[in-house]
Structure 1
Amino acid sequence: MADGFVACMFVFLVLASTFLRRAAAGDVITVDVIIIGAGAAGLSAGKTLSEGGITDFVILEATERIGGRIRNAEFARLKVELGANWIEGVNGEKENPVYTLANEVNLKYSDALYDNVSQNIYDHTGYLAPELVTPVVERAEHLFDFVEDLGTKFTNENLDDISVLTAQRFFGHVPSTAVEMVIDSWNYDFVSAEPPRVTSLRNSQPLATDTFLGPDSYFVSDQRGYATLLEPLAYYLNCKGGMCSDPRLRLNTAVTKIEYSTGGVTVHTEDEIRYRGKAAVLTVSIGVLQTDLIHFSPALPFWKLSAIYQFNMAVYTKIFLKFPKRFWPTGPGTEYLLYADVKRGYYPFWQHLDNEFPGENIIFTTVTDDESRRIEQMPDEETLAEVMVVLRKMFGPDIPNASHILYPRWWQDKYFRGTFSNWPIGVSSYEYKQLQAPVGRLYFSGEHCSEQYNGYVHGAIFAGSETAHAVLKCLHEDKCDTLYSRPKATT
């Protein structure tokens, strides 16, 4: 057995040294499968390929680390998550792979206690007593339940899609006051990063994540990073502590051009290396697919572009702040706060991190959609000035200035162009199948290709595995045509 192990290691080292030696400008590297993107979907695809008997693949990642939109950053001597932060959909009838992976690596997380948020609402006058907002909260709950029930009806009866806002009109009341709008934003924008007027009713209400995976959520604060849970998913890359030793993973390798046909795929990178494969799995975000970052040859067909362009790439921005002292409420039921402004989406969501980082005096606010895009174009100091005005309305004029501020610019980053996908009004399951369908031997994957769980990390994991199974079927059984045809209309 020892001799066999030594022999296997020798073969691996020879292959690794050959791969690295050939990886120079002008070289052509031939593999079975090329995976583009080392986020959750790309890593999941690699795992499924490995378990299906295909190990001759390469993963090309444009950035310096695995994880994609799962990434943290240094902030005031700590690490905070710029992207994925919650494990959502737990304790339901179906297992959530993110939760399983998190427990496998003993990731540190805490309960996301949303239930008391309606008791923590502020406006320009400060704290709003519960007796003032209770009637508004109760009506919002009835409205939310009505919309979910209507969404179920539209799905079960196969009715033409409408927006969540249209569903609210059926209820007979659309949120319009500052308090109504912030509760409405909490129910929808906080989840989908876009307002009800653009979000599909049939495909978002009720959320499949809550229905099938479970109603519970957990907030990750592990200083190793949320991305640590990806290490067992990417076991075949020998990842530990954020570092992966397998030469099949190529970091800082941006793809510029993809040539595809029914016979295979050739991928060109910025470092002037070409990778040729029998198939490729493209996991870049829907936001990137909607730009010209990658040139396709031949150009993607109209049906594919039509599907890509119809979906939304939402923007979700967390703005972290550190203060010399705490001035917000603490204790059970105070983690999440709402700020009701006459302008919808103006610094509406707040969460302190006293439980996760005791004594550090860190709080963050979340903005989405157009507010995210606006703030991304402002320097940090201007954003901080706006935030301080809001906080002084909430907690009084004497609170101190923040000593640190940090927030990502997902929309401006050419490798992401947003945070996660959102299913817009009027896009059917047919368009979703077209979004997933391959062109030639070029396959598409990512959270945006998960029909039930788009926008979520678990959606990316499910999609990566599903796409890899399609590639295995193509390469092992020569069944490569998975183009989905529009169902015939019934009379």
Structure 2
Amino acid sequence: MAKKPRIAIIGAGIAGIYAARTLYQNGFDNVIIFEASDRIGGRIWSMKHGDDWIELGAQWIHGQEENILYEYACSRGLIANPKHDYGVEGNGHLCNENGEAIECPLAKKLINYLDETKNRMNDAIENDQNVFDYFVYQFNQFVQSLTDIIDITTLKILKNTFRWFIIYEVIDNSCENLQTLSALSYTEWEDCSGETDLIHFQKNYSTIFDEFEKDFPLNDCLLLETEVKKIELIHNNSDIQVKLHIFRDEIEDEEMLFDHIIITSSIGFLKENLKNDFFSFDFPEEKRQIIQAIGFGTINKVFLEFDIPFWNDQVKGFQIVWTNVRDEHSFPDINFACGTENFPEWVYCIQGFDLVRHQPKMLMAWIGSYGAKQMEKYSDQEIGQILTKVLRQIVPKQCLKKSIDYPTNIFCSRWYSNPFFRGSYSNRTTVYQKINNDDDHDGYNIDILVKPIYANDEHKKPLILFAGEATDPKHYSTTHGAMKSGEREAFRLICFHQKR
């Protein structure tokens, strides 16, 4: 290797920082990480509150075996005991907007049945079904399998419970709705098996970056509040370099040249910036198509802290089964009008309220679909007022130990409004699936995005490389997928220069 190449990394999330760490540990120390915001972490965002933390972004490590993040964090002693301290989703009472607990045993059986059918999602691909239609079919199969004839009231409860399950899956997949979600989001995605699926950090998620800083001089190569505005390809004699136009310190158009760049920006950011001259060269059309086809939705969290918890010690959460809502998530033959007379539309995209680890006075609402974007237009105070009314309406009396007062603190994520994210994480859409079945493409669609943009020379020099959670073929939507993608692109450059 004659001289050390100059490498730029766009984005200081886990993909970008781990790419820089991998490069540095292999002798490539001429690296600059550009981060547009005032913090590192990307969609990992731990916020100190009181004596502990809350996670505004990534919540858990998903699985253990062959999980690069789990293995690294475990080796540094960052992991909570997975046998005793682990995450639980969708826990607690099923309740409706009349403050009634859903005591129907078939409702829980339906949820378990639908959840189990996710293991048979290949059937949806074979039958060319979207995920919503697949679950409607499975709902009907469940009802038909019941030995006893169910009454109209019970059937309505099951159909309303079906909508709760759909909202749960919409949030889990970070999508707008399940009608546009491909079953590939289940069949391509691989679990990292182990005794626990949802794993906590002992302290907070961001401790992973503290450990990275021990491995290499992160601060020496990091530029915060430095936005890359445009990418150009520059021909210098026999070589091609990448010119970045950046904005920092009120300097509108500073220019910097690099031999390679690794883009770790979110798919939401890339979608948004395909519309302008961010890529100021002939950007490959097949990459453009894949970026547009990959799904990238928004989920948000709302944390409500109360002076004194109003719920009793037996409560594990409140999951909302709305009975008065008709929207794209409802069972097809539900005839209710949307219940917007009581609350703004976005409220009906809340899955429920969960307890918050190490924050005994706090509840957290998960919100997805169209509601996640709409919610971001409201102030924290407005959100707090609305959700206080929601809680007063949905919480069963037997769960109360006092009246429900207005929360003392409110914290909200707003991932869609942030121009550097424009959403939360990726999924596989029906459009993506259609392209994947196109005879013109070989292999996975994601391979088209992952393939670098090369210089047209005899060395096939990789100029622009792509990383980030959406680029991992099996672990997209996860932090370990993002971390693995950063390592993958770092080693691509390392191998290229070792062969020269």
TM-score (norm 1): 0.78
Task: Determine the structure 2 residue equivalent to 1:448.
Answer: 470
Q: Are 1:476 and 2:495 an aligned pair? A: no
Candidates 247, 250, 261, aligned match of 1:270: 247
**Deviation of the 1:408 alpha carbon:** 1.8
**Deviation of the 1:198 alpha carbon:** 2.3
Question: Which deviates more from structure 2 when the two are superposed, residues 72-81 or residues 302-311?
Answer: 72-81
Task: Determine the structure 2 residue equivalent to 1:437.
Answer: 451
The answer to whether the Cα contact below 8 Å between 1:76 and 1:404 also exists between their aligned partners in 2 is no
The AA in structure 1 aligned to 2:349 is Y
Task: Determine the structure 2 residue equivalent to 1:15.
Answer: none
Task: Determine the structure 1 residue equivalent to 2:487.
Answer: 465
- Deviations along 1:222-264, one digit per CA (max 9) or x if unpaired, are 2xx41111233354444xxxxx54x211111111111136723
**Deviation of the 1:462 alpha carbon:** 0.8
Cα distance change, pair 294–313 in 1 and its aligned pair in 2 (3 A)? farther
Task: Determine the structure 1 residue equivalent to 2:339.
Answer: none
The AA in structure 1 aligned to 2:78 is N
Q: Are 1:54 and 2:54 an aligned pair? A: no
Task: Determine the structure 2 residue equivalent to 1:138.
Answer: 109
RMSD, aligned α-carbons: 2.9
The answer to whether the Cα contact below 8 Å between 1:105 and 1:229 also exists between their aligned partners in 2 is no
**Deviation of the 1:420 alpha carbon:** 1.1
Q: How does 1:169-184 map to 2 (within 5 A)?
A: 169-171=136-138, 173=140, 177-184=159-166
- Deviations along 1:140-193, one digit per CA (max 9) or x if unpaired, are 322332232233x578xxx4864212322443539973222113333x123212
2 CA distance for matches of 1:310 and 1:39? 23
Q: Percent identity?
A: 21
Task: Determine the structure 1 residue equivalent to 2:410.
Answer: 405
The answer to whether the Cα contact below 8 Å between 2:68 and 2:484 also exists between their aligned partners in 1 is no
Q: How does 1:202-221 map to 2 (within 5 A)?
A: 202-205=184-187, 207-210=189-192, 212=193, 215-220=196-201
Cα distance change, pair 373–307 in 1 and its aligned pair in 2 (3 A)? same
Task: Determine the structure 1 residue equivalent to 2:6.
Answer: 32
Q: How many residues align?
A: 425
**Deviation of the 1:291 alpha carbon:** 1.4
**Deviation of the 1:126 alpha carbon:** 1.9
2 CA distance for matches of 1:66 and 1:116? 30
Instruction: Show structure 2 runs of 5+ residues with no match.
Output: 142-155, 330-347, 437-442, 455-462
Q: Find the residue that maps to 1:290 and give its secondary structure.
A: helix
Candidates 241, 244, 252, aligned match of 2:225: 252
Q: Find the residue that maps to 1:366 and give its secondary structure.
A: strand
The answer to whether the Cα contact below 8 Å between 1:111 and 1:217 also exists between their aligned partners in 2 is no
The answer to whether the Cα contact below 8 Å between 1:178 and 1:340 also exists between their aligned partners in 2 is yes
The answer to whether the Cα contact below 8 Å between 1:347 and 1:387 also exists between their aligned partners in 2 is no
Task: Determine the structure 2 residue equivalent to 1:22.
Answer: none
**Deviation of the 1:113 alpha carbon:** 4.8
Cα distance change, pair 449–424 in 1 and its aligned pair in 2 (3 A)? same
Candidates 58, 62, 77, aligned match of 1:88: 62
1 CA distance for matches of 2:466 and 2:89? 38
The AA in structure 2 aligned to 1:55 is D
Cα distance change, pair 249–273 in 1 and its aligned pair in 2 (3 A)? same
The answer to whether the Cα contact below 8 Å between 1:290 and 1:309 also exists between their aligned partners in 2 is yes
Q: How does 1:112-151 map to 2 (within 5 A)?
A: 112-114=86-88, 117=91, 120-130=93-103, 132=104, 134-151=105-122
1 CA distance for matches of 2:221 and 2:295? 32
The answer to whether the Cα contact below 8 Å between 2:37 and 2:225 also exists between their aligned partners in 1 is yes
Task: Determine the structure 2 residue equivalent to 1:201.
Answer: 183
Q: Find the residue that maps to 1:291 and give its secondary structure.
A: helix
Candidates 282, 287, 297, aligned match of 1:314: 297
2 CA distance for matches of 1:385 and 1:311? 36
The AA in structure 2 aligned to 1:275 is M
The AA in structure 2 aligned to 1:381 is Q
Q: Are 1:351 and 2:354 an aligned pair? A: yes
Instruction: Show structure 1 runs of 5+ residues with no match.
Output: 1-29, 239-243, 479-491
The AA in structure 1 aligned to 2:18 is S
Q: How does 1:357-396 map to 2 (within 5 A)?
A: 357-358=359-360, 361-395=361-395
**Deviation of the 1:115 alpha carbon:** 7.5
Task: Determine the structure 2 residue equivalent to 1:79.
Answer: 53
The AA in structure 1 aligned to 2:365 is T
2 CA distance for matches of 1:366 and 1:142? 22
The AA in structure 1 aligned to 2:363 is I
Cα distance change, pair 412–236 in 1 and its aligned pair in 2 (3 A)? same
1 CA distance for matches of 2:29 and 2:95? 55
The AA in structure 2 aligned to 1:248 is C
2 CA distance for matches of 1:336 and 1:348? 11
2 CA distance for matches of 1:116 and 1:316? 15
Deviation beyond 4 Å, 4+ runs, structure 1 = 74-78, 107-110, 212-215
**Deviation of the 1:97 alpha carbon:** 1.8
2 CA distance for matches of 1:116 and 1:71? 22
**Deviation of the 1:349 alpha carbon:** 2.3
1 CA distance for matches of 2:79 and 2:196? 20
The AA in structure 1 aligned to 2:351 is P
2 CA distance for matches of 1:419 and 1:426? 19
Q: Find the residue that maps to 2:232 and give its secondary structure.
A: strand
The AA in structure 2 aligned to 1:104 is R
1 CA distance for matches of 2:115 and 2:59? 25
Task: Determine the structure 2 residue equivalent to 1:227.
Answer: 206
**Deviation of the 1:37 alpha carbon:** 0.9
Q: How does 1:288-327 map to 2 (within 5 A)?
A: 288-292=269-273, 295-327=278-310
Cα distance change, pair 325–367 in 1 and its aligned pair in 2 (3 A)? same
Cα distance change, pair 59–376 in 1 and its aligned pair in 2 (3 A)? same
Task: Determine the structure 2 residue equivalent to 1:67.
Answer: 41
The answer to whether the Cα contact below 8 Å between 1:137 and 1:183 also exists between their aligned partners in 2 is no
Cα distance change, pair 470–253 in 1 and its aligned pair in 2 (3 A)? same
The answer to whether the Cα contact below 8 Å between 2:349 and 2:372 also exists between their aligned partners in 1 is no
Candidates 114, 117, 134, aligned match of 1:167: 134
